[in-house]
Structure 1
Amino acid sequence: MPRGEARWAWLLSDGGEPRNWMLVLAPLLGWHDDGWAGVGWGLFAAVFTAVLPTLILRFGERRQYWGDRHVRRRQDRIVAAPGVMASVITGTGLLHGLEAPAEVTSLVMAMLAVLLALLVITFFWKVSVHSAVASGALVILTSVFGPWMLALTPLVALIGWSRIRLRCHTVGQVTVGALIGAAVSAPVFDLLG
């Protein structure tokens, strides 16, 4: 792969990490639902959906439970999943119990539903979490802010391209990830939001 292309692929892949979507999306939806107080709830949600999962993945990487923060091997993802899921489940419970704004709680519930779907698939096949979260974020943004958010569709496609280009996933794994992210996120978010 040409050097410039590899650089762009890494930038898109790292920028499009699931944690980054949650760091932006949770406070944004919090603001939309409840102003500055909602931003605080969104940041609280981001702790459980982005910050703690990142720390868990880094801890596992340092202990050599898996190779890197992207947890590329399918078998390693099954080992990493319980810690990440525990963080998201805890956050979901706290948001619900503390009566956080509906859009923030619905976002985290939608993320949890996507993670559960991906975990089931991961027992048999590797699927792109990057693509699933990016497409899930896109459908939620479209649900909240309207169809003009579909202008972000090329970004979701570019994140998928980066994962393929870096040989982290196949076209099929990226496509299935994107389809699952959208198909699971939309109904869960709309039902609960």
Structure 2
Amino acid sequence: MTGRQTTPDAEGGRGTDAESGRGTDAESGRSAEGRPRAGTEGERGADTEGGQRADAEEGRGTDTEAGQGADAEAGRGADAAARLLTGLFAPQVLVIALPPLVGLMADGPAGAAWGLLASALCGGVPAAVILAGVRSGRLDSHHLVDRASRTGPLLVAVAAVVVALVLLVVLGAPRLLVATVTAMLAALAVTVPITLRWKISFHAAVSAGTVVVLAQVLPAAPTLAAGALLVAAICWARVRVTHHTPAQVVAGAAVGTGTAWAALSAFGL
């Protein structure tokens, strides 16, 4: 009977062991449960950060592509504008259009008729020679991009302008028209020798000279202001299409302005 009795120490020991076991198991269980939860939170954080980085990289790539596309589109627009300016204000176009306008403003319909004569000789004859050269393949284009190919057409232009000037003087054309054709000859006298060794811009020279002449028959201040902007745009276009350097267009504009001013001044205009 004595062996079945349980002492308080035994009861306490079992209680303590049970409580300790339950406590340890509970703590161990919480730790075991906690570890997977911590790992899951870490994985979710890593995934989120990785996704954000991927989104940021994708966004930067999209922005870069959009920027490159916009730059390419702007470049194409600038090239198209440069080609348009180059064609509209080609030397042949201005030389053909200027004399009739000057003659009309200076002496009415009779002056315009004189201007058409000058236009046919100074602009029409060289333009026909250049067109024939382009069609035969001897010339690259009506802009005479290849400097070496310029000599023949320019000599034809010089001869045509001399003939026109002689006819205008002998037949008594208006003084401003004679001065205009003289300015053309003076510009050729300077630019032709230069272009044999260096590709000076005829677009710049002719457009600048045209502005100076037009300032004689139109209100001077606004004509010169607007004309300067136009000449600058033409110079930009010639550089943009890579047919000239900045120095070549600046030199051309200076020659055109100087020879036109000198010729008009010689006639007292």
Using structure 1 for the length normalisation, give the TM-score: 0.94
Match of 2:76 in 1: 3
Match of 2:259 in 1: 184
Q: 2:201 aligns with which of 103, 121, 128?
A: 128
Match of 1:168 in 2: 243
Corresponding residue pairs, total? 193
Match of 1:24 in 2: 97
Match of 2:165 in 1: 92
Greater length-normalized contact order (CA 8 Å, ≥ 6 residues apart): 1
Q: 1:114 aligns with which of 184, 187, 191?
A: 187
- In 2: Cα distance, 1:91 partner to 1:69 partner: 22
Residue 149 of structure 1 pairs with residue 223 of structure 2: yes
Match of 2:112 in 1: 39
- Does the 8 Å CA contact 1:56/1:84 hold for their aligned counterparts? no
Between structure 1 and structure 2, the one with the greater Rg is: 2
SS of alignment partner, residue 197 of structure 2: coil
Q: Counterpart amino acid of 1:91? A: A
- How far did residue 88 of structure 1 move? 1.4
Match of 2:33 in 1: none
Q: Counterpart amino acid of 2:98? A: L
Match of 1:68 in 2: 141
- Does the 8 Å CA contact 1:143/1:190 hold for their aligned counterparts? no
- How far did residue 55 of structure 1 move? 0.4
Identity in percent:
34
- Does the 8 Å CA contact 2:126/2:153 hold for their aligned counterparts? no
- In 1: Cα distance, 2:215 partner to 2:157 partner: 26
* The 10-residue stretch of structure 1 (19-28 or 3-12) with the greater mean CA deviation from structure 2: 19-28
- Does the 8 Å CA contact 1:127/1:177 hold for their aligned counterparts? yes
- In 1: Cα distance, 2:245 partner to 2:176 partner: 33
Match of 1:137 in 2: 210
RMSD between superposed Cα atoms in Å: 1.4
Deviations 1:95-125 (A, max 9, x none): 1111111111111110011011100111221
The unaligned stretches of length 5 or more in structure 1 are: none
- In 1: Cα distance, 2:265 partner to 2:214 partner: 11
Deviations 1:133-156 (A, max 9, x none): 001111122244322211221111
Using structure 2 for the length normalisation, give the TM-score: 0.68
SS of alignment partner, residue 97 of structure 1: helix
- Does the 8 Å CA contact 2:205/2:255 hold for their aligned counterparts? yes
Q: Which 4+ stretches in 1 moved above 6 angstroms? A: none
